[in-house]
Amino acid sequence: MNDKNITSTIAKPTNRSIPHLIGGFSGGIIATFTLHPFEVLKTRLAVNDGSNSRIIHHKYTGLSNALQVIYRTSGMKGFYQGVTPNLIGSSISWGVFLYLYDILKFSLANGEEITMKHQLLSACLSGVTTLSITNPIWVVKTRMILQSTQYTDTYYYRNVFDGLNKIWRNEGIFGLYRGYIAGVIGVSHGVVQIVSYDRLKTIYKQYNNNNNINIPWYVYISLSAVSKVLAVIPTYPYQVIRFRIQSKNDLYRGIIQTTVMTARNEGVRGFYKGMLPSILRVTPATCITMFVYEYTLLLHRYLCE
């Protein structure tokens, strides 16, 4: 292949992928800000293992108790604790992931029909790359959601950049990438979700015998919800493990040790703590994100016609 053909092959998916970046970024911001209170509930319940850790300043007996305690101690502000790193992390994650996913699946297909193999490989590569960029932000987000004003200055983060700086200064690169291996395993969540979503869209178009059909907004929302639930149920335990490793709780030192301790102390139920608020948050969040994303692509096509 000559240089001209190489340039053409690369340029086409890259140019058409920019709206995917914009759509994912925009959808991530809107969905995250709207539903962040569920993220607070999910994270606090997930790391609530019943120990006397200095990290968790309140013990929650369940979802309703967590709602009452957070509101009583912090008011509505408590439900938006850690929202800034979550906004930054989610917008970058969705934007970069969908951008790379679109580029890679077309590049791997190399002009041929895109198959599930191309989608799976593209989603895996996109997920690992995105995680490598955003993991430090997720560490800060987790700790800001959990932190108390009673913390010493070393462990209290005033904002995202203060958190990144303190983690780097006190824990080094390993602190910024706590939970990274668990996160890599958790890339399977994003893979299942985006590939399921793509395949469901294909099935819908085939059912209507029209690959160019304009899918109604409510179908986008339905497909997003189904694909997200399919991804959450089998992969949720990794999130509990990852949150506990990132929480700065010295009891948890790695994936295997955290898994064994959780299983021994809490049983299977321990791996699914916080799943209900998680589903309540991530399902609508995904629906909002994918709705904004798809209509950004439609707007781009309309403007280019």
Amino acid 9: pLDDT: 41
Please give the distance of CA 199 from its chain centroid, rounded to a whole number.
20
What global pTM score does this model have?
0.78
Only one residue has tokens 């790695």, namely: 254
Phi, psi of 262 (to 5 degrees): -65, -45
Amino acid 7: pLDDT: 38
Amino acid 65: pLDDT: 86
pLDDT in tens, 2-21: 444 433 344 455 567 899 99
Amino acid 38: pLDDT: 84
Amino acid 150: pLDDT: 57
Only one residue has tokens 């995250």, namely: 32
Amino acid 4: pLDDT: 42
Closest by CA to 139, choosing from 116, 163, 171, 123, is 163
Express the helix, strand and coil content of the chain in percent, nearest 5 each.
80, 0, 20
Amino acid 254: pLDDT: 81
Q: Which residues of the chain have pLDDT under 50?
A: 1-11, 52, 54-55
Task: State the CATH class of domain 3-304.
Answer: mainly alpha
pLDDT in tens, 172-210: 999 999 989 888 988 999 999 999 999 999 999 988 877
Phi-psi region of 147 (alpha: psi -120 to 50; beta: other; left: phi over 0): beta
Domain ranges of the chain: 3-304
Amino acid 276: pLDDT: 84
